[in-house]
Amino acid sequence: QVQLVESGGGSVQAGGSLRLSCTASGHNVRSNSSIVCMAWFRQAPGKEREGVAIIYTPSGKTYYGDSVKVRFTISQDNDKSTVHLQMNSLEPEDTAMYYCAAGPGNARSCPVFDYWGQGTQVAVSS
């Protein structure tokens, strides 16, 4: 079983920055092919869940949602069990619960996310 634990959420004024982290733990997590894709999703009240960023951990290839391109950066530690989301130039529209997720995939596709964290709240005030 894999556990994902997020940290780093909080409150910030518009234009500010936050860095979220997600650590995966469990049996053989570093060689677990079922979590080669790690991602951040977010969900604001009354809105559907939105994909923010994905990283394919074997190669470091990244994908971003259109609303966060340029402003957000997903990265991973060398051990590939911790990913980070650096969020710059935050806007009130970025206010949401942010969830870390992990699942199987390849360099071209991360089709499903089987493991989810509990979420960390981000609030951006104007």
- The Cα–Cα gap between 30 and 2 comes to 11
pLDDT at position 120 over 80:
yes
Question: Given this model, what pLDDT does residue 33 score?
Answer: 86
pLDDT tens string 62-92: 999 999 999 999 999 988 889 999 999 999 9
Nearest residue to 117 (alpha-carbon basis) of 74, 82, 76: 82
Question: Given this model, what pLDDT does residue 27 score?
Answer: 73
- What is the phi-psi region of residue 28: left when phi exceeds 0, alpha when psi lies from -120 to 50, beta otherwise? left
**Range name among 19-23, 45-49, 105-109, 120-124 with the lowest pLDDT average:** 105-109
Contact 102, 113 (CB under 8 A): yes
Question: Given this model, what pLDDT does residue 79 score?
Answer: 82
pLDDT tens string 11-69: 999 999 999 999 999 877 777 888 999 999 999 999 999 999 999 999 999 999 999 99
Give the max Cα distance, the chain.
Answer: 43
